[in-house]
Structure 1
């Protein structure tokens, strides 16, 4: 569903005004599993290169999701992987 919202935002608010060469990385569980989660690392490396990333919601699998999606592994959180590569931080409270 988030990809539907992103498409709407992109088509209505961004692309009519800015010419972009958008790079896409499929962080859905089936593709992450097929690439042994290398796609997540590639997306973070692209973020370092281009200095921007728009990431839609993703699933962090647990044992139940592993069975549901027939995954090879319980992959780490893509948010955590990307954040670690970018040396990022999670703020749990507002910064004032």
Structure 2
């Protein structure tokens, strides 16, 4: 599923949300060969969408030689990323939010 999520991210970053399959492949090759950060992030976010099916859920449309992210695809991706930011953001404890006590 993280692979499908990567495709959504790539398309969301393209002009008009569309890219040729070759461009998508190039981006995937770069992202997945540039270290562990991208795959780890995609795996973490994808864990929140275990039934992700970008074509079956109509998050991406196919045209001759290219893929296009749909409005539903953008909303779905935004929701997953917002959830990920909420869950992975460090929580500030009540103690650390208070002024230090002086003796």
Q: Is TM more than 0.5 here?
A: no
Between Structure 1 and Structure 2, whose CA radius of gyration is higher? 2
> Larger helix proportion, structure 1 or 2?
2
TM-score for the superposition, normalised by structure 1? 0.32
Highest RCO, 1 vs 2 (Cα 8 Å, sep ≥ 6): 2
How does the TM-score come out when normalised to structure 2? 0.31
